[in-house]
Amino acid sequence: MKRPRSGIIYCDSRQLTSKSSDIATSPAYGRTEREHSNRKDWQNLREMTPYIWEYRDRVLLALACLVVSKMAMVGIPVVLKYIVDTLDADPGDIIVLPLAFLLGYGVLRFINSGFNELRDAVFARVRFHAMNRLSVSVLTHLHRLSLRYHLERNTGAISRDMERGTRSISSIMNYLVFNIVPTAAEFVLVALILFSQYDSLFAGIIFFTVMLYIGYTFMVTEWRMHFRHQMNALDSSANGRAMDSLMNYETVKYFNNDVHEIERYRNTMGEWEEAAVKSQTTMSILNFGQAAIIAIGVTGIMVLAAQGVADGQLTLGDLVLINTMMLQLFLPLSFLGIIYRSLKYALADMDMVIKLLQRPLEITDSSDAVALEIKQASIEFREVKFHYNSDRQILGGINFKLEDGEKLAIVGPSGAGKSTIARLLFRFYDISHGKILISGQNISTVTQQSLREAIGIVPQDTVLFNDSILYNIRYAKPDASVDEVKAVAQLADIDSFIEALPQGYDTVVGERGLKLSGGEKQRVAIARVLLKDPSILVFDEATSSLDSQSEKNILGALTRISRNKTTLVIAHRLSTVIDADRIIVLEQGQIKEQGNHESLIEADGLYAHLWRMQQKKVEV
């Protein structure tokens, strides 16, 4: 056999390794939580299947594109072998260039790239639709969870879990369809070629090297993840402490604690430094071991192939084919450590969102729930008992009835259970005993949507969306016209204020409505309730945070909108409810007194005592 004049094609082990690194662009970057030890990954993947299988045709087409792409990829070394063997001849023997093989080589390259891109394009709809569906499902479930859950939640953590959870399904599909499955398919095709065409010793060395490489990567990656977790946790802690000290700059200066804050930060950063050094050192150990395994495998194959060529059992094309296959096989494996780690993170993120979706709903409509029908907008509490926790009762046997068109006020000391009554009326919680009736219907037997459509509320703390004033008023009736919005704004005595603003009704109120004053926010809330036009009105401490002038103006507006409406007023300031038809005085979840203002003053009980205390504060 003649030796080629242009030198042989070979692969350097340096080409076969791509250094793993904990780069910031990795999906796992910045992650500080440890994965759940009680995860059920296979079960979670089954839970995600419906989100993917909706586009099963696209999934199957993408897999078909993958197979074609990998067959072309594995065919490239085979064609390359024939090109080299044809050219590896005496100059006089080469009559024409092996154009067919050269063209075939180019076509296979094109097919490989083309079907890879086609796979990505076909699978894009599957990926992003799954993310879309999962995001909507999570938000829907969050809205259906009870107020109890939302009072206990960590909003930042929930937001992060939602983001990571929906992204995890894309990441997992990405790793499976674009990394793991293609590598496995190529592995199978290479095995078929090697076992059918060459001595089994070649395949044995390659597959032993691959298995050793995978086992080593998994083992070291699992071991070193502890240092990465620790590094991320300390990084977040140091950043949190730095931001906390800067946000509380004045307090730090008041107490002359600059050195204390810097020392805390320095200590945490010192621990981060140690964890970061260990993380990088272990990463170097991983990279070194991977490079050593590949180098040993490549050397063994090269020795065998070179010996085969020298003995005349193999052609130079065979050596090129085996080497090229090794190059193609080891290149994707070089990223195995990053993929394995990122896949574990993605599975942990998926576990979070699955657990959130599996969280049971506390408040649900019964199977035979009907729409609430308002004939007369009466409210009745019959022996209502309620507790947030079993060891602390909030309401104990509450009985009262509010007739259609009547105005009832509920007053009492802080913690007496006043605001709880409003929450129970909206059925944010289910009572532990008794009944709550609206227009004679038990609210537990009607749909939540119809119940809440019948009630409007002006809350103690009006929270607005970070949107325009128009959007916030129209929130009660999204299809309302601008004229309808302006009409209720006039009734709420806020129209002139809005019109005076540079952007008018298009003025954005800021996060939680912080660009508006307390009185202005309350007026927006009143306009919103007017637009809703419910049968029942609830004022929950609606003026407690206002100054005297604002309170007077708001009370006038509330009085106007509550005429001929069934109205429940929950108040701390007794001066705001003296015009109520009836006043109920709560203390420690029990009704202590009830009557109108004059009769309660004459009774000289708890109400009279609270009245005198508040009058003294006003005089002072």
For the ranges 151-165, 200-214, 300-314, 521-535, the one whose mean pLDDT is highest? 521-535
Dist CA 320 CA 566 (whole Å): 89
Token pair 């004229």 in the structure block, residue: 483
Poorest-pLDDT segment among 4-13, 329-338, 526-535: 4-13
Average pLDDT, integer, range 51-76: 84
| pTM for this predicted structure | 0.68
Q: Which of 51, 32, 30 is nearest to 354 (CA)?
A: 51
Q: Is the pLDDT of residue 333 over 80?
A: no
Q: Is the pLDDT of residue 25 over 50?
A: no
Average pLDDT, integer, range 317-338: 75
Average pLDDT, integer, range 57-65: 87
Q: Is the pLDDT of residue 47 over 80?
A: no
The pLDDT, as a whole number, for residue 546 is: 59
Which is higher by pLDDT, 40 or 474? 474
For the ranges 14-23, 58-67, 569-578, 592-601, the one whose mean pLDDT is highest? 592-601
**Confidence band (pLDDT; 50, 70, 90) for 370?**
very high
Q: Is the pLDDT of residue 270 over 80?
A: yes
Side by side, which strands form the sheet with 582-587?
Answer: 455-458, 536-540, 566-570, 407-411, 582-587, 590-595
Q: Is the pLDDT of residue 237 over 50?
A: yes
Output the DSSP codes for 496-507: HHHHHSTTGGG-
**Confidence band (pLDDT; 50, 70, 90) for 550?**
low
Dist CA 98 CA 82 (whole Å): 9
Average pLDDT, integer, range 414-426: 86
Provide the terminal-to-terminal Cα distance of the chain, rounded to the nearest Å. 113
Q: Is the pLDDT of residue 564 over 50?
A: yes
Poorest-pLDDT segment among 13-22, 44-53, 487-496: 13-22
Average pLDDT, integer, range 268-283: 88
Cα separations in angstroms, 507 against 111, 468, 471, 478, 510: 56, 5, 10, 18, 9
Dist CA 97 CA 238 (whole Å): 66
Cα separations in angstroms, 139 against 49, 122, 143: 19, 27, 6
3-class SS of residue 595: strand
The pLDDT, as a whole number, for residue 610 is: 87
Is 105 within 8 Å of 73 (Cβ atoms)?
A: no
The pLDDT, as a whole number, for residue 15 is: 43
Dist CA 346 CA 523 (whole Å): 46
Reading the block at residue 254, the tokens are: 């008041």
**Angle 495-499-503 from CA coordinates, rounded to 5°:** 130
Cα separations in angstroms, 364 against 361, 428, 430, 515, 609: 7, 10, 10, 37, 42
Average pLDDT, integer, range 417-434: 88
The pLDDT, as a whole number, for residue 551 is: 65
The pLDDT, as a whole number, for residue 35 is: 46
pLDDT in tens, 120-151: 888 888 888 888 888 888 888 888 887 887 77
Average pLDDT, integer, range 405-421: 86
Which is higher by pLDDT, 287 or 25? 287
- Residue spans of the domains in the chain: they are 39-197+340-361, 199-313, 372-454+540-545+572-620
Q: Is the pLDDT of residue 2 over 80?
A: no
The pLDDT, as a whole number, for residue 471 is: 92
Q: Is the pLDDT of residue 26 over 60?
A: no
pLDDT in tens, 439-475: 999 999 999 999 999 998 888 778 888 899 999 999 8
Average pLDDT, integer, range 168-181: 78
Is 562 within 8 Å of 407 (Cβ atoms)?
A: yes
Give the mean pLDDT of the chain. Answer: 80
Q: Which of 342, 31, 43, 52 is nearest to 168 (CA)?
A: 342
| Residues 256, 258, 263, 269, Cα dihedral to 10° | 150
3-class SS of residue 426: coil
Dist CA 298 CA 206 (whole Å): 8
Q: Is the pLDDT of residue 494 over 50?
A: yes
Which is higher by pLDDT, 616 or 91? 616
The pLDDT, as a whole number, for residue 539 is: 86
Is 402 within 8 Å of 380 (Cβ atoms)?
A: yes
Q: Which class does domain 39-197+340-361 fall in?
A: mainly alpha
**Confidence band (pLDDT; 50, 70, 90) for 43?**
confident
The pLDDT, as a whole number, for residue 1 is: 39
Q: Is the pLDDT of residue 492 over 60?
A: yes
Q: Is the pLDDT of residue 249 over 90?
A: no
Average pLDDT, integer, range 407-428: 87
Average pLDDT, integer, range 180-184: 78
Look up residue 267 and give its amino acid. N
pLDDT in tens, 69-89: 888 888 888 888 877 777 766
Average pLDDT, integer, range 298-316: 82
Output the DSSP codes for 434-463: EEEEETTEEGGGB-HHHHHHSEEEE-SS--
The pLDDT, as a whole number, for residue 30 is: 40
Architecture of domain 372-454+540-545+572-620: 3-Layer(aba) Sandwich (3.40)
Dist CA 32 CA 235 (whole Å): 9
Report DSSP state, residue 479: T
pLDDT in tens, 575-605: 888 888 899 999 888 899 999 999 999 988 8
